[in-house]
Structure 1
Amino acid sequence: MTRAAGVAQVTDADFEEEVVGERERPVLVEFTADWCGPCRQLAPVLSALAAEEGHRLKVVQIDTDRNPSTVVRYGVLSAPTMLVFRGGEPVLQIVGARAKRRLLQQLDGVLEQAATA
């Protein structure tokens, strides 16, 4: 799997605890795979996001090939797909790699809510 530095890895086994159970801040989950070129492009963006916004946003990755239950549960059809969870529910879906600035723009509403919560 294309691992982003500073980004935690989650699995089918701990997804419920690490993502759905997180109540302090929203969670961005990247559904990724070893064979995914755009996932490799996204890795440094997610690393930077985790480092810069970690106080407001938890960033994790899940390998789609090794964790099929979570992939099916959330209807993920392509990699990379990012789902943002708030209070245990998915509130935003982003499909495909993004530049950091564009990703931050798309996450703006979620991050604003996190700042005021």
Structure 2
Amino acid sequence: MAAAAFDPLGPLPVYLVSVRLGIYEDEHHRVWIVANVETSHSSHGNRRRTHVTVHLWKLIPQQVIPFNPLNYDFLPTTWKLESRNIYWATDGTHWRLLDHSQLGDTEQLILMLVLG
């Protein structure tokens, strides 16, 4: 009998609720921290768009939450998985799931918001 393949990724969080600025907890009590925020701009004719990309890393149990001096108060207080790759935020914005992967020992989510 063949052994089942091991999938290191957990299920996608359905809810991500802010417990502190830049720190979220999901419905399985897993803790996710904002590891990086990127903004970029693009133009299409007269239309200018701003893209905001958020990298979230899942902490392993008993891992100390690192101090982060950045202010993430512009991020939503809650994200809810609306479809397979769209998160709805409490501020009415929709964020596209770009990636759910393993980065070394760290599970990561990458979400992108397009404004404009």
Structure with the higher helix share, 1 or 2: 1
Report the TM-score when normalising by structure 1. Answer: 0.27
Structure with the higher strand share, 1 or 2: 2
Which structure has more relative contact order (CA 8 Å, sep 6+)? It is 1
